[in-house]
Structure formats: C-alpha cells, structure tokens
Amino acid sequence: MEYECVHEDDVPRVDLSENDDMPPDHDMRSINEALGLENVRAKVWYIEPGDEIGYHAHSEQEEVFYILEGTFSLKLGRSGETETVEAEHGTWWAAEPMVGHGHRNVGDETGIVLAFGAPAVDDPGLNPHQLDE
C-alpha cells in the first residue's frame, strides 16, 4: 500500500458484544483494517456511559489515545503506582509496553476514543498486577 484514504462512515461499526472472542462489549471501527495498515493499529471506540476498557497492559505494543467526544476517568501507570486522571474532549494519553492503562466513560453520553498501537502485533491485554518488573 503506497497510500489509502477512507471516511470513518465507510468503515463498518462492529458490535463486539456479539463476538465472544473479543472483549470488551463496545462498538468499534477498525481503521487499520480498512486502510490495510501493517505497522500500526488504529481503532475508533464507542463507549457507553458507565462502560470502560479495563485496566490492562501490553507486552510489546505502545498505545496512544485521543478523546474525540465524552468525559472519561483514566487509570494510568504500573501496578501499585497508578494515577487517576479526569479527561475530556481534546485529551491525549499514552502508555508504553508493560504499563497499565484503562478508561471509563463517566459522562452522560456515548464517548468516542481514537486508539493507535504499534507495532501492529497480536498483543492481548495483560493483567498489570501480575507483571514482573
């Protein structure tokens, strides 16, 4: 792929509650699949009020996030050293590999979060409380 262009509305919005193999139960658009990206994962997450992407870490993947809509409570940092940050539209945050992160929609409307991760490897979430540093 030399270049690609896609509008968000042209990327299927998938209800992950219908997929037993992929928690959490949110809606998501896989921008990386639509663009054929090989080196980075790019997702648009739709998170209902009170729902969250739980505190987790990745062994290889560095992630960066951006709140497009909504108000979130972020849990960031290594196990035993976490910080809670209240965040809203316009907030960016990142987590390097082996560092815990998660976010809960504390607003009254559906929140939208952009998420980017690299390298683009299958790197399932790990429990940060079980990581040996």
* Global confidence as pTM: 0.89
β-pairing, 83-88 vs 41-47, is unpaired
Dig out the tokens for 41 from the structure: 């994962």
Please report the pLDDT score of residue 78 as a whole number: 93
Sorting pLDDT into bands at 50, 70 and 90, what band is 20? low
Domains and CATH numbers, the chain: 46-133 (2.60.120.10)
Mean pLDDT of the chain, nearest integer: 91
